[in-house]
Amino acid sequence: MSTVVAIDGPAGAGKSTVAKKLAARLGLSYINTGSLYRALALAATEAGLDPSKDLPQDFLAAQHLEFRGETLFLNGKAPGDALRSAECAANASMVSKQPAVREFLLGVQRDAAKDQWIVMEGRDIGTVIFPDARIKFFVTASLEERAKRRLAQQGEIAAGADLNSVMADIRRRDEQDSKRDTAPLRPADDAVMVDTTNLSIEQVVELLARQCREVGVPERQEVR
């Protein structure tokens, strides 16, 4: 059984915020796997490639992605806020559909848990990346609530977007993620389902922390 707390869920469900706070509560490292797809999308556009088309194998082979602590480095540099733009998010959505990309990033994600306990969030952590995770959560919320949360995130949406347009975008993303051939978005069979629609962030974090303690996830590890 791997030393991982896996948190999956659709866009806007609050899993990134919850995962980061849960990691801090337990004293574990936090890994956001969505940043990997954004980083590859960023590198592709900077190289003049179309993210909607399959990225060449030689391009993928030339990319070096690693987490140093909780910070992602792309070819020796931390992209930081460049990953948070609406354009990067849209490009990452296209890149993430590509089987070669998901295969390329599999090792990067698994390497992050080799020597430490981690809280890792994404869309296929409990089903593909770490099917043997110590505990798995699937965090979700109503479509409207997810759209409201996305609207509140600076840089995550296109200029002029409103609640209806964001809801439509999320609905399209849900369909795309759940119907893709490679690693579709779905709860693991043994995942703990968590609907955050009517819960505060602290309530969700406390719920997850309690579940983690019950299955023996250690606390206060030195975060690297």
In a domain, 223, yes or no: no
Residue 109 is classified by DSSP as H
According to DSSP, the β-strands at 65-68 and 71-74 are antiparallel
How many Cβ atoms are within 10 Å of 110's Cβ, its own excluded? 14
Strand partners, 138: 8, 193
Is 221 within the bounds of a domain? no
pLDDT at position 37 is 94
Is residue 220 domain-resident?
no
pLDDT-above-70 percentage for the chain = 96
pTM of the entire predicted model: 0.87
Q: Tell whether 6 is covered by a domain.
A: yes
Domain count, the chain: 1
Burial class (CB in 10 A: 0-12, 13-18, 19+), 143: middle
pLDDT, tens digit (0-9, with 9 covering 90-100), for 9-46 = 998 898 999 999 999 999 999 999 999 999 999 999 99
Q: Give tens-digit pLDDT for 94-147.
A: 898 899 999 999 988 998 888 789 999 999 999 999 999 999 999 999 999 999
pLDDT at residue 160 greater than cutoff 90: no
pLDDT, mean over the chain: 90
Residue 49 lies in a domain: yes
Distance CA 208, CA 184 (A): 24
Mean pLDDT, residues 63-75 taken together: 90
Question: Does residue 208 form part of some domain?
Answer: yes
Q: What is the pLDDT of residue 224?
A: 46
Model confidence band, residue 178 (pLDDT cutoffs 50, 70, 90): confident
Q: Which two tokens stand for residue 146?
A: 């997810």
Q: Which of 191, 132, 187 is nearest to 4 (CA)?
A: 132
| Domain assignment present for 133 | yes
The answer to whether residue 16 is domain-embedded is yes
CATH classification of the domain holding 56: 3.40.50.300
Type and span of the H or E element at 16: helix 15-26
Alpha carbon distance, N-terminus to C-terminus of the chain: 21
pLDDT band at 69 (very low <50, low <70, confident <90, very high): confident
Residues in the chain: 224
pLDDT of residue 223: 45
CA distances 198 to 15, 140, 142, 146, 152, Å, are 14, 11, 9, 11, 17
User: CB-hemisphere CA count at 13 Å for 159?
Assistant: 0
Q: Which residues of 13-50 are buried (b: 16+ CB within 10 A; e: fewer)?
A: bbbbbbbbbbbebbebbbbbbbbbbbbbbbbbeeeebe
27 touches 220 (CB < 8 A): yes
Confidence of residue 156 (pLDDT cuts 50, 70, 90): low
Q: Which of 73-82, 103-112, 172-181, 190-199 has the lowest mean pLDDT?
A: 172-181
Q: Which of 221, 35, 206, 199 is nearest to 113 (CA)?
A: 221
Mean pLDDT score, 66-71: 84
Most confident by average pLDDT, 8-12, 84-88, 176-180: 8-12
Residue 155 pLDDT more than 70? no
User: In 27-162, which residue ranges form alpha helices assigned H by DSSP?
Assistant: 34-46, 57-61, 86-95, 99-111, 143-151
What is the distance between the alpha carbons of residues 93 and 84, in angstroms, rounded to a whole number? Answer: 13
Domain containing 95: what range?
Answer: 2-214
The tokens for 204 are 């969700």
pLDDT band with cut points at 50, 70 and 90 for residue 1: confident
